[in-house]
Amino acid sequence: RRKWKRVVGVLKELEESCETTVGRLKQVVDAMAVEMHAGLASEGGSKLKMLLTFVDSLPSGSEKGIFYALDLGGTNFRVLRVELGGQRSDLDPDVEQQPIPEQLMTGRSEDLFDFIASSLYQFVEKNDSVQSPITKLLGFTFSFPVKQTSVSSGVLIKWTKGFAIRDMAEKEVAGALQQALTRKGLNMRVSVLVNDTVGTLALGHYHDADTVAAVIIGTGTNACYWERTDAIIKCQGLLTTSGGMVVNMEWGNFWSSHLPRTSYDVKLDAESPNPNDQGFEKMISGMYLGDIVRRVILRMSEESDVFGPVSSRLYVPFTLRTPLMAAMHEDDSPELTQVARILKDFLDIPDIPLKARKLVVKICDVVTRRAARLAAAGIVGILKKIGRDGSGGITGGRSRSDIKMRRTAVAVEGSLYTQYTMFREYLHEALNEILGEDIARHVVIIVTEDGSGTGAALLAASHSSEN
C-alpha cells in the first residue's frame, strides 16, 4: 500500500508540473508574441529565428499550368507534378517517393544533386516531353535551416537529420540543384526555395484565402505566418508589392519561463544531442512525447513495485514511440488490453494489474494534454502578433463582443494533429478556452495534406512571373 501511495505521489507531482491553466496558457501566448517581435527586431534578438522567406504572395487558386516540386528533408525525397486549371480545384498531384542512398547523405553534394536530377529527369519523361523548349518550373522544398537571400536562393546554415555533406556549407542550395539539372540537360528552373511549413501555408491559402499561418506537428514542430513587411524591423527597407512576406518562425526553439517544465523534460534535454535547443519542440512533437512517458514510468517503476521488477527496457531512450503511446492513451477496452499488450511487447512489463494500466493511460493523458495545449497557445500567440486574436482594435468604447473579428484560418499538418484524436481534441479545447468561444468561432483550423510538396509547386506557379 505504501508503494502505491508513492506512485500516486509521482503522478500528482507530474500533474502539477504539467499544469496548463488558461492563465498559464495566456502567459505563453504573450511570451510567444513578445519573442516574435524580438526576433523580427534584430538578428539573434530571440530564440525564435523568424527567418525571412521572400515569399511575398501566396497562391490564390487562379494559377494555371503544369508545375513540379522536389521535397527533400529526410530519409526520403519526393518528386511531384501538378496540373493547375485556373480555378481553385481539387489538386491531384502525381507523386513519387524514393529513399536517398545512405552514402549520398554523407558524400559530395554533386553526387547527391546528380542523383536527384536523374530521378527528376525520369519522372518528367513519364509525363511530359523532356525536350520541350518551354522551361519547366520547379518548387524546391528543402527542410533544413537556410538563410535565404531571395525567394529562389539561400545558403545552408547547418545539416540536420543525419545529413553531413561537408562541401555544402555556405553553398547556395538552389544553385547546387540548378547546376545538376543543367548537367542532366533538363530544361527546368528552380523558381522557389522554401521550407516545408511555407509549403503548407501556400496550400492552405490556395484552398482558403483567409489562411494566415501554418503549423506542422509531426516528428518535429514548426510554424510560419504572413507578416507585414513594416513589422520586419531587422530588414529595413524591405519592400514587396503585397506589403507582406511569409516569416518562418522556427518555433520549435521557442522558450519561455512560463512553459510548464518537469524534471523529465530537464533530463530529456540534457541527454539529447542538442541540449538547450528546440525546447518547445521537446514538449510537443512526436519525436519526444513517448519518451517523456517512458521516463515517468521508469521513475514509478524505480520507486515502487506496481510495474514488477524494473524492466531494463525502460532505460533505453525512445523505446516507447509516440504512436504506441497514442494507442495506449486511446485504448477504450474495459480491460485496457492494448495497454497490456504494448507494455509487454515493447517495454517487457508483463501482467500488471488494471489499476496500474489505468495509471499508464493517465500519464499519457497528462503529457499529451500539455503538448496540445501548448501548441494551441503558440497558435494564439501568432494570432495575437498579427491582431487576429480579438483583443485589439477596440474603438469608441465598443465592448469586446462588438469587435468585428475577421474569419481567420490556420493550416495544420503532421501526424500528431491528424492521427492522434486526443491531441487534436485537446488542442481545439484549449483554443476555445484561450480565445473565448465568441472569438474562437472565427478561427478555423484547416488540415492540408502534403503541403511541403504540393505547396512548393503552387508557389512555383504563383511566383513564376517574378524571376
Residues annotated as part of the active site: 161, 196
Options 18, 198, 326, 412; binder of ligand ADP; rule CB under 6 A? 326
Alpha-carbon distance of 69 to 236, in angstroms, equals 32
Alpha-carbon distance of 71 to 78, in angstroms, equals 5
The DSSP secondary-structure symbol of 172 reads B
Query: Which residues inside 379-398 make contact with ligand ADP, applying CB under 6 A?
Result: none
Q: How far apart are CB 333 and ligand ADP at their closest, in Å?
A: 17
- Under the binding rule (CB under 6 A), the answer on residue 414 touching ligand ADP is yes
C-alpha torsion sign, points 185, 186, 187, 192:
negative
Q: How far apart are CB 286 and ligand ADP at their closest, in Å?
A: 3
124 with 181: CB under 8 angstroms? no
Options 189, 261, 321, 362; binder of ligand ADP; rule CB under 6 A? 321
Q: Which residues contact 242 (CB under 8 A, 6 or more apart)?
A: 56, 57
- The window from 33-41, 198-206, 307-315, 316-324 that contacts ligand ADP (CB under 6 A) reads 316-324
Q: How far apart are CB 328 and ligand ADP at their closest, in Å?
A: 11
Q: How far apart are CB 140 and ligand ADP at their closest, in Å?
A: 17
152 with 190: CB under 8 angstroms? yes
Query: Which residues inside 174-213 make contact with ligand ADP, applying CB under 6 A?
Result: none
User: Quick one: 212 or 326, whose CB is closer to ligand ADP?
Assistant: 326
Options 82, 328, 416, 443; binder of ligand ADP; rule CB under 6 A? 416
- Under the binding rule (CB under 6 A), the answer on residue 287 touching ligand ADP is yes
- Under the binding rule (CB under 6 A), the answer on residue 451 touching ligand ADP is no
Q: How far apart are CB 105 and ligand ADP at their closest, in Å?
A: 16
Options 211, 322, 408, 462; binder of ligand ADP; rule CB under 6 A? 322
Cell numbers at residue 156, please?
Answer: 545552408
Q: Which residues contact 208 (CB under 8 A, 6 or more apart)?
A: 409, 411, 444, 446
Q: Which of 397, 393, 336 is nearest to 362 (CA)?
A: 336
- Encode burial over 107-125: b for 16+ CB neighbours within 10 A, e otherwise: bebeebbbbbbebbbebbe
Residue nearest to ligand ADP (CB): 218
- Under the binding rule (CB under 6 A), the answer on residue 219 touching ligand ADP is yes
215 with 375: CB under 8 angstroms? yes
- Under the binding rule (CB under 6 A), the answer on residue 160 touching ligand ADP is no
Strand partners, 50: none
185 with 253: CB under 8 angstroms? no
User: Quick one: 151 or 326, whose CB is closer to ligand ADP?
Assistant: 326
Residue 290 CA, distance from chain mean position: 17
435 with 390: CB under 8 angstroms? yes
Q: Which of 253, 274, 122, 248 is nearest to 193 (CA)?
A: 248
User: Quick one: 149 or 219, whose CB is closer to ligand ADP?
Assistant: 219
User: Quick one: 336 or 412, whose CB is closer to ligand ADP?
Assistant: 412
Q: How far apart are CB 167 and ligand ADP at their closest, in Å?
A: 26
User: Quick one: 14 or 328, whose CB is closer to ligand ADP?
Assistant: 328
Query: Which residues inside 75-104 make contact with ligand ADP, applying CB under 6 A?
Result: none
The one-letter code for the residue type at 390 is G
Binding site for ligand ADP (CB under 6 A): 218-219, 286-287, 321-323, 326, 414-416, 419-420
